[in-house]
Structure formats: structure tokens, C-alpha cells
Amino acid sequence: MAVDRDDVQALVRSGFGSLGSARYILVRIVDSARAKAWLRGLVPTRASEVGEGRTLDTVLQVAFTRAGLRALGFTAAELESMAPEFLDGMASDARRSHRLGDVGESAPAHWEWGTGAREPHVLLLLLAGPNRIADWASHVERDALANGFFLVTTLASNPAPEDTGPAREPFGFADGLSQPEIDWDAKLRPSARADRAYRSHIAAGEVLLGHRNEYGAIAGDATGPLVQRNGSYLVYRQLAQDVTGFWGWLRAAAGPDGARELAERMVGRSIDGAPLPGLAHGTGPEDFDFQGDPEGFQCPLGAHIRRANPRVGDDPLGPRGILGNLLSTAGLLGTAAGDAVASARFHRLLRRGRPYGRAMTPEQAMRTGAPKTEAGLHFLCLNASLARQFEFVQGAWLISPTFGGLSQEGDPLIGDRSPFPDDRRTDLFRYHDAQGMPRIAQGMDRFVTVRGGAYFFLPGIEGLASITAR
Ligand code: HEM
């Protein structure tokens, strides 16, 4: 069944890349009755308001943590049908933190928000043009504080670029390019033969609860007083990026002239977002996959984008006919590396992040004595299954030092570099240089530190009404 766009918050449909700046207002509920009354008066932007020639001046979205839903009066039993990871929370136990790479400086004990009394109940996400955002955000903040809320913190993104160029994350790379496209009109027939080739079109149930997912099953649970339909789980992590550390390490590892090329191998795209040479089979930034590069000569097997989305269908070797399928089912075709990265379509994330902090060019960041500044990504993503999508991609593909046949290397951008229990290092990066020579970069520093985070539920419009009616 087609998705009712009128019942979905707009963030699912668009990241509003061109719409000025964002404010993330994180609040706790101190007076449940007043907070509910105030929340009932909010008018979140709907997916139906996006596109078709319309431009929006402001966008407001509302999401809740499990603690927020409890504070609004839901009993633990009433929330049981929600995802266990959402109920546990991002920072709830040391094993989860270890899997997500939230260790050392990134451990929840060091977070600026997200735990204890600084665990938010509600996220109010505001987007507006640069002239409007600050006033509007302080107005909403004041209003919330006068109506039963306590402010944990308000975080700001950088303004979107004024030129038509792509948004860039603080290391300087074009960001937000590869995104799955939701099948709003329910046209896909998941698990058909065509699924063996890479596609970016995904079943609505991979992002929205109450819809068919890539397994053909309905995502979420329709029981309980909270309406889950047309809602989505929203992951929010504030990731601080050590920009001078990143470019300083690259300069030391590859020299000032080779730093950019090595950085591009680490990301898996050119700094301006183009596919790496030899991969593109069309003109767009999305016209590529890794089918013709099984050994990682063009795009290293451990590059950030290859870990985050290995771009293979059900079968890493692609379509190969009835006999080939039978041999594959019998385990007579394929490789361990291939199997490890199979079925990427079950692990897609709809990213909605924005950068913050002082921007610096790679040249400025490589200068000796360049000042350390606070910059990073408000990493937000939407998915219907926290376990199978965000936690799997983060833990098994990005953080794990044994991925796709590699070992001793974590994600080159966000890897935590913690050694194995037997002390073997995890700070390597294997790649082939422009001449095709195999190389190993060693001693990578940790470039990204978590400052805070939480799992939210972004309800549909009817879902929001079911929450505030408690
Ligand atoms: C500060 C941390 C991070 C930085 C600087 C960063 C940077 C980038 C860049 C430059 C790209 C390529 C452009 C694009 O397709 O958008 C990219 C792609 C991507 N990143 Fe990240 N990223 C970060 C964290 C994460 C995290 C935490 C996740 C998931 C848990 C993630 C998942 C992805 C995915 C799914 C893609 C698209 C891959 C594809 O389909 O080709 N990233 N990232």
C-alpha cells in the first residue's frame, strides 16, 4: 500500500539540504500534563508538504526517547512492542558501547549529553533560513521552558552553503550524496531476481514502520496504545571531528602532495564527491558499484563508503543464472569476503546529518601549528530496525576490525583504533595507490569522538497524536 505522505514527518522525505541552518533543541519533561498540552499545539511539517514546486521557510519535527515516552505516562508494558534497542537506549550497557565504538574518550561517561540527567526526552528539530533560525529557536525554547520542559542543550548546525555546491563535512568532503530512495508508492517487489543487482530504491518498511520491508514483512508492531505506523527510529550522534589531526596525520603519512589522494581512498570518493577513477559507469555521483572491483584496486575494501554500503544485492557476485544460483546455494560459489558484505539492501540508512563548527580547508588544516577547533557532524539517520540497520552498519561494518576479509583495520574515518584483546593493533589501512601498488598506512589516529547521542522515535502525525493524548 502506498505511504500516506500526510501522516509522515517531512524529514523522512527530505533532508532540506538547501534550507539554512538547523537547531536541535533537546529537552526533558518536568510537568507531564503541561508538556503534553504544549506538544499538542505543535504543527510538525509533513512529508506531503515537500516538493511539487513548493518551498518551505521553516520545518519543525518532533521525536521522543524511551525516557520521554515514560515521562509522558506510557508504562513499560505499553512500550514493549517497540524495538528493544530503542527501549535500552544508546548508552545503556557496556557491551553495546563496545560494539558501537563508544569507548575511551567516546565512552558515554564522557558525553556532554545523552545520559543521566542529560538524557533528553524530546528532540525539537528546527530548520529555517539563516536570518530566521536564531530568533525562532529561542522563541520555541522559551515557550517550551514555560510549558513544563527543562532544557538539556540546544545544538546548532552550520548554515547550508550559499553557492550551489554540495554540503561538505568538516574534513572537507562532499557529504550526503548516496541515499536510499523510499518506495513511497509501493511499486517494488522485494526479493525478485532483479534484487541481485545493486539498487538504491528500497521498500518503505526499511524506514517507516507499518510498511512492507525488504523481507516482505511489515515493519514494527501494531499493538499497544502508541501508534507506530508511519513512524521511524531516529539515531542522533554528535560526532566531533579532529580536522587538524586528520590532515596532519595524512600529511605525515603521504606527504603534502599525497595527502588528498590518500584521504580520497579512505573515504572512497573524490573530495568533491565523484566516484573513484575506474568505478563510474555513468555520469552521476551515484552511477557506480563495486562489482567490477572485487579486490579493492579502485576503491579500497576498507574505505568508509564501501564499509557503510558495500553495494551488492542478495549476492555479491551479481546475477548469474539458474545453474550459478544452484551452485551458490550449495556453497560452491562465492567467497568469505563476498558473503560478509552480502545483502546490503537490508542495511541501508537514510542520513539526515549536518555539519557544525568552524570550517577549514585541507590546506589550512595541514599548516604547521593550525589551531584545533571544535567541529563535527550532527549525525542523524532514520531506519525501521535499529539492530539490523544502524547498529549493524556501525558495529559490524564500520567499527569492526575484521570486515569483509580484512583484519586489524577499522573504518578509516570513525574507527576507534582500540587494540584486540590480544593487543594486536587495529590502526592499519590497506589500499592501492594510483600506480596500482599495494600499500599499508599504519598508526592511524582516532579522528572522531562521540560527544553525545540518543535513540529517538520520530512518530507519524497520528502517532504523535496518540503520544500527546496520553
Ligand atoms: C564524522 C563522521 C563521518 C564522516 C566525516 C562521514 C563522511 C562521509 C562521506 C564524506 C561520505 C561520502 C559522501 C556521501 O555519499 O554522502 C559518507 C558516506 C556514507 N556514510 Fe559517512 N561519515 C561519518 C559517519 C558515518 C556514520 C556514523 C555512519 C553510519 C553509522 C555513516 C554512514 C555512511 C553511509 C551509509 C554513507 C553512504 C555510503 C554509500 O552508499 O555510498 N557515516 N560519509
> Residue 154: CB partners within 8 Å, gap ≥ 6?
23, 24, 25, 26, 137, 141
- CB of 178 sitting under 6 A from ligand 1: yes
Instruction: Characterize 382-396 residue by residue with b for buried, 16 or more Cβ atoms within 10 angstroms of its Cβ, and e for exposed.
Output: bbbbbebbbbbbbbe
Segment 87-106 shows an average pLDDT of 97
Ligand 1 mean position, distance from CA 368 (Å): 28
pLDDT recorded at residue 44: 98
Confidence of residue 364 (pLDDT cuts 50, 70, 90): very high
pLDDT recorded at residue 335: 61
pLDDT recorded at residue 72: 98
- CB of 269 sitting under 6 A from ligand 1: yes
Ligand 1: nearest atom to the Cα of 200: 40
Q: What CA–CA distance (Å, rounded) separates 22 from 94?
A: 31
Q: What is the pLDDT of residues 150-192, one digit of tens each?
A: 999 999 999 887 766 788 999 999 999 999 999 999 999 887 7
Confidence of residue 329 (pLDDT cuts 50, 70, 90): low
Ligand 1: nearest atom to the Cα of 414: 2
Ligand 1, atom 12: nearest CA belongs to which residue? 175
Ligand 1 mean position, distance from CA 351 (Å): 8
Which position has the higher pLDDT, 280 or 122? 122
Residue type, 426: T
Ligand 1 mean position, distance from CA 305 (Å): 6
> With pLDDT > 70 as the criterion, what percentage of the chain qualifies?
93
Mean of per-residue pLDDT scores for the chain: 92
> With pLDDT > 90 as the criterion, what percentage of the chain qualifies?
77
Segment 6-17 shows an average pLDDT of 96
Q: What CA–CA distance (Å, rounded) separates 329 from 170?
A: 44
Q: How far is CA 366 from CA 376, 415, 448, in A?
A: 17, 21, 17
Rg (CA), the chain: 22
Q: What CA–CA distance (Å, rounded) separates 112 from 39?
A: 26
pLDDT recorded at residue 78: 97
Q: What is the pLDDT of residues 304-326, one digit of tens each?
A: 999 999 997 656 556 566 676 66
- CB of 308 sitting under 6 A from ligand 1: yes
pLDDT at 129 over 70: yes
Ligand 1 mean position, distance from CA 271 (Å): 13
pLDDT recorded at residue 51: 84
Q: What is the pLDDT of residues 201-228, one digit of tens each?
A: 999 999 999 999 999 999 999 998 999 9
The residue written with cell numbers 588528498 in the block is 260
pLDDT at 109 over 90: yes
Least confident stretch, 59-73, 133-147, 231-245, 410-424 = 410-424
pLDDT recorded at residue 421: 85
pLDDT recorded at residue 244: 97
pLDDT recorded at residue 54: 80
pLDDT recorded at residue 151: 98
Q: Give yes or no for a contact between 254 and 262, defined as CB atoms under 8 angstroms apart.
A: yes
Q: How far is CA 194 from CA 188, 191, 294, 314, 321, in A?
A: 10, 8, 20, 10, 12
Select from 379, 383, 397 the residue to mutate for testing ligand 1; criterion: most ligand atoms less than 8 Å from CB: 379
Ligand 1, atom 5: nearest CA belongs to which residue? 169
Segment 118-136 shows an average pLDDT of 96
